[in-house]
Copies of this chain bind each other. A is one copy, B any other.
């Protein structure tokens, strides 16, 4: 992983990543930190603390903030904190940093369970984290992304992490898929409404097991080498999406290991 140099980091724009942990969130944060100061949102500080430290050690700028995206008030106060504490007097003109990229990587509720053993709390949790959370995140970020359109180095971007369950309701995955399908719907609609205003909204179907500390014990694809998705490979595709020219936006792409059945 390249180390960012202070001179390469934007003085005018930042990136915001909701839902960070040891997998995709960490890798995406590192990738975007090579170009922007990054703000990391997670419900609990232990989710972002190591990543913030990692980014700073490499010479980047990072701030972790606790927030529950499924709770509009919690997210709003986190965003206010970020603007007041982190950005005061920043930006080339001292007016604060603009938002160049927002990544929604939250998504509780994964799980395979016979439908009749699930409860209404399960579906509510899936809808809250995947759909209402994205709704709140988009409400909180789209106005800032729109503001950045004229000056951002790349088209301001909202990137949404999806899953196999975003496009397929498999048996015993209904509760999770309900939330994931809903997030994809919202992403499509935002892409169509705000694309013509210059904001790039993209949805990524991550179709496979991600290689994280938490999945070490799980032998995806019969344990074949590279049978799990490398988080830094996901991050490269997110960065590619962010840097696409506005004449050539991708609105959806899939990512899966070369040995994955699909």
Q: Which residues of A contact B (CB under 8 A)?
A: 72, 114-116, 120, 123-124, 127, 131-132, 135-136, 138-139, 142-143, 155, 165, 168-175, 177-196, 198, 200, 211, 226-230, 232-234, 236-237, 240, 244-260, 262
Contacts and interface: CB of A to CB of B under 8 A. Distances in A.
Contact of A245 (B132, B195, B230): B230
Contacts of A172: 189, 193
A115 B198 contact: no
Contacts of A247: 211, 226-230, 233, 257-258
Copies in the complex: 4
A189 B171 contact: yes
A236 B109 CA distance: 36
B170 A114 contact: no
A72 B139 CA distance: 29
B132 A116 contact: no
A170 B189 contact: yes
A190 B254 contact: no
The main secondary structure of chain A at its interface with chain B is: helix
A182 B200 CA distance: 24
Contact of A169 (B116, B179, B188, B196): B188
Contacts of A228: 247
A192 B52 CA distance: 39
Contacts of A168: 188
Nearest to A193: B171
A237 to B, nearest CB: 7
Contact of A254 (B132, B155, B187, B250): B250
Contact of A259 (B120, B170, B195): B195
